[in-house]
Structures are given as C-alpha cells and as structure tokens.
Amino acid sequence: MSALRAVPGGVGREAATRPAPQCEADRLLDRVRLGWIRLTARQAADCQAEGALLIDVRTETQRAETGEIPGAIVIDLTVLEWRLDPTSPDRIPEATQHRPIVLICRQGFCSSLAVGRLRCIGVRWVTDVIDGVEGWLAAGLPLDSGPADVRR
C-alpha cells in the first residue's frame, strides 16, 4: 500500500494550510490529526484497490443522499472500535493486525476524530480521507445506489 507506508509515523500536513482554529472543536481536530498522513480520495481509492479496508462511517441518511462507495464496508461510529480492533472478539473478520484501514465520512471531520480514537486503542495502520465523500465526488470517483455492506 504505497500511499499508506508512512501512516504510522507520518505527520498531518493540512494543519498548516487551514486557517487558525476558531473553536475548541477545531483545536481538538488539529490535535487529533497530528501523527498521521491523511489521504486524498484518489489515494484512498488506490489503497482500497491494493487491499486496504475502506470504512464508510456516514449515517444512513447521508449515504442515501449521496450514494454508496463501491467496496466500502459501512460501520456505525457507535461500534467502530469494537469492529476494527484486531483484539476484539466482536471485530469484523477483515480487520486484521496488519491490514490498513481508511475511514471516510461526509467531509473528513468525523473520520479524523474516529482515527484518533482507533489510534488510542492501538490500531496502527489507520488514516482517513481529506474532504471525505465530498472529495471522493470532486475527484470523479464512483458512487452507486448500493446495496451497502453494512456491519452492525
């Protein structure tokens, strides 16, 4: 996974290009994003093609409005840690110790916070997509009408 090689020790790059945080939530986002390299939508699609898990954390309503990402696994944020932690008895079978994981949400905010939570519990090979599904669409990448691979 060429785009994911630097993820564990990488440094988030976009904090320097964003305006100064205006609220505590923005400051939290900047702190959480330190320590990994986020991917463009095109890089995420390439990683998925190379075997990374692409995990869609958008709500059912958001997915219905925009469409499903082909090949993505949908996992609700309320159970994400248990489904992706390789040591959890409730993990999905695809979540293994050395398989890269790429999270995607609508705009890249919730996915970044979720990456931070996963990294706190020791999930090492995880990152997210800059601008989320909006970036996916802007890059001309496909969405379809489903059905989604929803894991509960």
pLDDT in tens, 72-127: 999 999 999 999 999 999 999 999 989 999 999 999 999 999 999 999 999 989 99
pTM attached to this predicted model: 0.88
- Residue 35 corresponds to which tokens in the numbers above? 């320590």
Cα–Cα distance, 43 to 128 (Å, whole number):
10
pLDDT in tens, 21-78: 789 999 999 999 998 999 999 999 999 999 999 999 999 999 999 999 999 999 999 9
What does each C-alpha distance from 149 to 60, 76, 94, 120, 131 come to in angstroms?
12, 12, 12, 26, 22
For the chain, the distance separating the N- and C-terminal CA atoms, rounded to the nearest angstrom, is: 27
